[in-house]
Chain A
Amino acid sequence: MKRRKSFGWIFLASVFFLTALGIGVVLQHVLAPPPIYQLRIRADLGTWVLLISNVVLLGGLGILAGLWWTRRLLWESLARAQQEYARAKHRFIYRLDHEVRKHLAVLRAQIASLSDVAEEGSLETAQADMLAQVERLDRLLSQLRELAELKEREMERLPVDVVSLLQQLMETIRAYPEYARRQVRLMLPHAPWPLPPLWGDRDLLFQAFFNLLDNAIKFTRAGDWIEIRAFEDGRSVVIEVADTGCAIDPQDLPHIFEELYRGSNARGREGSGLGLALVKAVLEHHDGMVSVRSRAGQGTFFTIRFPSAS
């Protein structure tokens, strides 16, 4: 903030300084056009006084105006940022409250039904159900903490082979029963050169790609296509995860990377609402970017861009 403020000053002051200088020179020509320019400017005291007073006056005015202007801009943007922060915080607390209560409601119902269960003798099933519920809640909070810790966590900065990473991702996904009912393809470039390595934390990147692919599987039906495409264009390494599944509602689109946000088509599906937030956080950690496009009836694709390591 401070640096921007002083930049504004310097910029405005120098603009006015140059203008004043220009005006001074022009005035001098208009008032008394010299036969020999250089001689005249050295000799004439009056011209010097005119020039310097111009510079001082206009320069001073410029600095004052610049000060006032940058101050106003700063205040406005600060107020906007504060408002946005307060709104985001409120949204987050509201969603967290909703998620935690949802799990607690199940747990309460399970505890209430415990006395009936005991009579029928299936105490073990009830116990397992309650434990699973507690674990869901535990996982939700753990993942939230992981997300919060991501920025201060030790992160490896090592070359990561994207090809082997994506291949390992495919192996992991193959173990899922839904995999067999989708057409999942990994498309990698071979000519003229393979993908360059990324610079970063392999395990975090794996988790981010996994979340995207898991998301694609979750929102597709049997027979749908899922393609993972990777390529580079000289400036960035690009990885796309595209699917022919159900599209994201345009209203949800700006919010899907927010923590605990649940899109209208995600209701009734298992999920923490943190998967895409983690993707975004991991990518920001790697100076990368993620964007999404979706069309009703056609599908969705996520595009990830990393600056090339070279």
Chain B
Amino acid sequence: MDELDRRIVNELQGGFPLCERPFQEVSRRLSTTEAELLWRLKNLLQTKTLTRFGPLYDAERLGGGFSLCAMSVPPEEFERVAALVNAHPEVAHNYERAHRLNMWFVLATDDAAKIPGIVSRIEKETGCRVLNLPREEEYFVELRLTA
């Protein structure tokens, strides 16, 4: 990642313009060209420096459900269980953490009522108990990180 990539990552975490040629507008701010910006953005996504580019939806405000879930998975079962959990499209992200509860994933659904069903399906498939920790209040969310 060079200096321009860094500036692109920082700039694109801000508000992306809503106009006919948004990439052109951002490219002007970065003193580069629209084509160069698009090419580099594709590259940043391909190399997984960026995981996504687009609108970030608030699932709850869309009427959906969200929950953070934790499991304690035996090490020898870990990869198998991770594959079973990740196969659910409702699993938005999943992290391994250094803790007795070593697998942490977020469920996001179009309907909050679906969460318990998915949790029990994951428990049945994996044989691991799921600790379901729904969010009760959000105090702060910042989605930017300086590159």
Whether A and B are associated in the same complex: the answer reads no
